[in-house]
């Protein structure tokens, strides 16, 4: 929220998320005039109601619902099943809606449902939509309110490797619209305005990470196979997803052309962890050597935002490239940056 406001993004177009928003964060959202606040718990409803009453404002809110859907993705990024921290069950959300309507302080604009990340088909969305639209209908009937909005969250997959085949935004939009239209028609209700949050699908493909090779180490595998361990000048400090989610990436030799035969390679980082892997399996030219540059595409979504200074490794810069020109938009960290917060 702070970054968006600093970039002069219109506050009324922001949706403010979080499963544990502090009173200070909620107050900042109210003072900025954020367009929608997604409420995640009873505690948060009470917290925001108290702040809004004190400021004499009536912010628009959505209730985050977990629809009990098992998305076909890694368990750490599946967010709609019951046994996880996000959102309210269908029953709890109905009760929360009643509390919001009875208090009359917050404006309940609709429901929010996010089933997970890196999803390539609409099957799980269809199941979730059926349940959420059913709840939407019940709340409107039970409490005599209109819910003009429905947010289906994000999670639309992007291509990290050649094995990934994401659908186009227009195909996804058309499929989701048809799903909601069908469910609303079956219940005889007006279709709410649908919104989605396709963050990864937008920013993920925009960026790649460029590493410099430091060492190359062939390792004998079972059956006489060889794997080449290609160590680069980064790793889990700039891309935690492989270690955290068992995520797959691709890689390519970027600094020169090579006609050397391919070899099975694993691109690894410089950190003191066996799980410090950037790309688990990739075929790279067998003559890759120290000093070469390796490019890993699809790193625009969660690499920089999840980056750390593990092992006191400074984070790399971010370079914008367009029309043959390059400029630094986030400078490289230095050792002085790492030490600047020490006060002892």
The catalytic residues are 272
123 in helix, strand or coil?
Answer: helix
Closest CA to 291 of 209, 208, 215: 215
Name the percent of the chain in helix, strand, coil, to the closest 5: 35, 25, 40
CA atoms within 13 Å, Cβ hemisphere of 215: 7
Closest CA to 200 of 242, 159, 240, 250: 159
DSSP track, 291-342:
T-EEEEE--TTTTTTT---GGGPPPPPEEEEETTEEEEEEPPP-HHHHHTT-
Any residues with CB less than 8 A from the CB of 261 and at least 6 apart, and which?
285, 286
Any residues with CB less than 8 A from the CB of 321 and at least 6 apart, and which?
none
141 phi/psi in degrees, rounded to 5: -70, -45
CA atoms within 13 Å, Cβ hemisphere of 164: 21
């Amino acid at each position: 929220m702070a970054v968006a406001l600093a970039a002069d993004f219109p506050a009324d177009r922001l949706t403010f998320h979080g499963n544990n928003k502090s009173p200070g964060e909620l107050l900042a959202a109210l003072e900025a005039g954020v367009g929608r606040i997604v409420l995640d718990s009873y505690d948060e409803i009470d917290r925001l109601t108290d702040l809004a009453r004190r400021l004499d404002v009536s912010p628009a809110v959505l209730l985050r619902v977990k629809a009990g859907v098992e998305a076909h993705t890694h368990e750490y990024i599946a967010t709609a099943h019951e046994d996880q921290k996000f959102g309210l069950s269908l029953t709890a959300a109905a009760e929360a809606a009643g509390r919001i309507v009875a208090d009359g302080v917050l404006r309940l604009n609709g429901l929010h449902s996010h089933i997970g990340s890196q999803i390539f088909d609409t099957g799980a969305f269809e199941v979730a939509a059926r349940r959420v639209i059913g709840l939407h209908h019940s709340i409107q009937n039970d409490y005599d309110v209109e819910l003009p909005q429905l947010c289906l969250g994000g999670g639309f997959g992007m291509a990290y490797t050649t094995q990934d085949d994401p659908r186009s935004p227009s195909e996804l939009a058309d499929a989701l619209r048809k799903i909601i239209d069908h469910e609303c028609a079956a219940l005889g209700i007006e279709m709410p305005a649908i919104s989605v949050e396709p963050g990864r699908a937008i920013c993920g493909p925009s960026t790649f990470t460029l590493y410099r090779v430091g060492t190359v180490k062939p390792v004998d595998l079972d059956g006489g196979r060889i794997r080449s361990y290609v160590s680069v000048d980064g790793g889990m400090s700039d891309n935690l997803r492989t270690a955290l989610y068992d995520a797959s990436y691709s890689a390519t030799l970027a600094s020169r052309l090579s006609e050397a035969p391919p070899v099975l390679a694993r691109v690894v980082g410089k950190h003191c962890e066996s799980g410090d892997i950037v790309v688990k399996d990739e075929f790279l030219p067998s003559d890759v050597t120290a000093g070469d540059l390796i490019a890993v595409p699809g790193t625009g979504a969660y690499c920089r935002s999840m980056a750390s200074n593990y092992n006191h490794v400074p984070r790399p810069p971010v370079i914008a490239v367009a029309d043959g020109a390059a400029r630094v938009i986030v400078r490289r960290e230095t050792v002085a940056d790492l030490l600047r917060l020490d006060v002892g």
